[in-house]
Amino acid sequence: MKTSIATVSISGDLREKLEAIAAAGFDGVEIFENDFLAYDRSPAEVRKMVADLGLDITLFQPFRDFEGLPEPQRRQAFERAERKFDLMEELGAPLMLVCSSIAPAALGGIDRAAADFRELGERAAKRGLRQAARAVRVSRLDVEPGRGEERQRDGNLVLPQISDRHERAVRRMP
């Protein structure tokens, strides 16, 4: 079994985090995008630094506000995903963590979300990459307000329903 930890879980700059992760005996690291952006090195340099420390990049996270969007935002979200895939290829990160959307423009609906995730998975697979979905409790995927339970579709997509209280909170978010 391989062990991995997210850089967001450790304090310091990216180099300090990676050194601490390697010293703690982890096999891999999940690169948090903000840690990468705050570190003034190229993807190739970060990839080499990770490898020199004896680590693998196991995941790149997060990709946010993706599913359930109307056009033209939907097309733009897929364009953003393609740019993230480019970066992942440069980093050597095989897996992208997608957090369920809290975008105000998201229309919600489990069928719409499933279709978007399916297409994203197909695009990732063409590059030899994969995606994982993380349900965020305040997502825009509520199709039956107040139910507060999880749903499963096609045996592999599990996303939570959110309550009316959370829906109102999301609408007030900037």
Domains and CATH numbers, the chain: 4-137 (3.20.20.150)
Identify any residues that bridge with 152 across adjacent strands, giving them in sequence order: 158
Q: Along the 174 residues of the chain, how does pLDDT read in single tens digits?
A: 999 999 999 999 999 999 999 999 999 999 999 999 999 999 999 999 999 999 999 999 989 999 999 999 999 999 999 999 999 999 999 999 998 888 889 887 888 888 999 999 999 999 999 999 887 655 545 444 444 334 433 333 333 433 333 333 333 333
Residues sharing a CB contact under 8 Å with residue 153, sequence separation 6 or more, in sequence order: 110, 111, 114
Counting Cα atoms < 13 Å in the Cβ hemisphere of 64 gives 10
pTM of the model: 0.77
Q: How far is CA 167 from the centre of its chain?
A: 21
